[in-house]
Amino acid sequence: MDVSGSLQGVPPSWQPALGAVVDSPESRRLGGWLKAEEAAGRRIYPPRGSRLRALELTPLDQVRVVILGQDPYHGPGQAHGLSFSVPEGVKVPPSLVNIYKELASDCGVTPPGHGNLEHWARQGVLLLNNALTVEEAQAGSHQNKGWEAITDAAVAAVAAKKEPCVFLLWGSHAQKKAMRVPGLASSHHLVLTAPHPSPLSAHRGFLGCRHFSKANAFLEANGRGTIDW
C-alpha cells in the first residue's frame, strides 16, 4: 500500500511527522478512492510501490534542500515518485531541460544524458510533489483528493528542523504551498523563489536565478556541506 496507514519503506525519521496524518480518515479515503479509480480501469501514475519514493530516498534527518513540484508526470513511464525527475531511458521533459540549462549556466555542470534525479535525492534533496499520483493524460487530476495533508505535513516537518535547509520554490503553486507553513518566510531557512522552469515561464526569471549556487553557498556557510548537482 502507498497510503492509508502504511509508511512501510519510509525511513523512521519521517514517522513522527507523518504517522498520524497517514493513518487519518482523510488518508484512508484517499486510499479507497485510488483503489476505486484503478478498479474502474483508470491508469494511475506512478505505479504502486513508488508513490512515496521521495520520502523513501530522503530521510527527514538528512534533508538539506526541498524542491516542490505540483503533481507527477502523466505520460507512460515518466513518473517514478520524484518531482521533475524521470527514469533513465525516458526523454528528458521540457521543464527539466530548463533546470539543466540553469544548472549549466550557474554552476558549469554538464547536463547528464538522462533525467533521473535520484542522485540529488540521496544527497538530501527532497523532490516532493504536492499530489503524489495523477491519472494518465490528466494533469492535476489528483489535486485536492487527500495527498496535500501528507505532503503539507512533510514540508512542515522540514521547516521545523533546527538545521538550516533551503527551499527552492519554482512557480506560484510551490510558493503558495510552502507559505502555508507558519513562519517559514521568517525562519532560519533559506527560501528562494522563481518562476516555474516550464518553457511557458522559464524566461521570466527562472533562467538566471542562480538557485543552485545560492543553495550551496548557504549550506556551506551553515556547516551542512554542498550538493553535488
Query: What structural domains and CATH numbers belong to the chain?
Result: 12-222 (3.40.470.10)
Q: Give me the pLDDT at residue 4, please.
A: 53
More confident residue, 43 or 183: 43
Give me the mean pLDDT over the 19-34 stretch.
93
DSSP characters over the chain: --SSS--TTS-GGGHHHHHHHHTSHHHHHHHHHHHHHHHTT--EESPTTSTTHHHHHS-GGG--EEEEESS---STTT-SSSTT---TTSPPPHHHHHHHHHHHHHH-PPPPSS---HHHHTTTEEEEESSS-EETTBTTTTTTSSHHHHHHHHHHHHHT-SS--EEEEESHHHHHHHHTSTTGGGSSSEEEEE--SSTTTGGGTTTT--HHHHHHHHHHHTT------
Q: Which of 2, 61, 71, 228 is catalytic?
A: 71
The model's confidence at residue 3, banded by pLDDT at 50, 70 and 90, is low
Please, what is the average pLDDT of the chain?
A: 95
Note the pTM of the prediction, 2 decimals: 0.97
Give me the mean pLDDT over the 184-190 stretch.
90
Q: Give me the pLDDT at residue 2, please.
A: 63
More confident residue, 64 or 2: 64
Give me the mean pLDDT over the 182-187 stretch.
85
The model's confidence at residue 66, banded by pLDDT at 50, 70 and 90, is very high
- Catalytic residue check, 71: yes
Q: What percent of the chain has pLDDT over 70?
A: 97
Q: Give me the pLDDT at residue 1, please.
A: 43
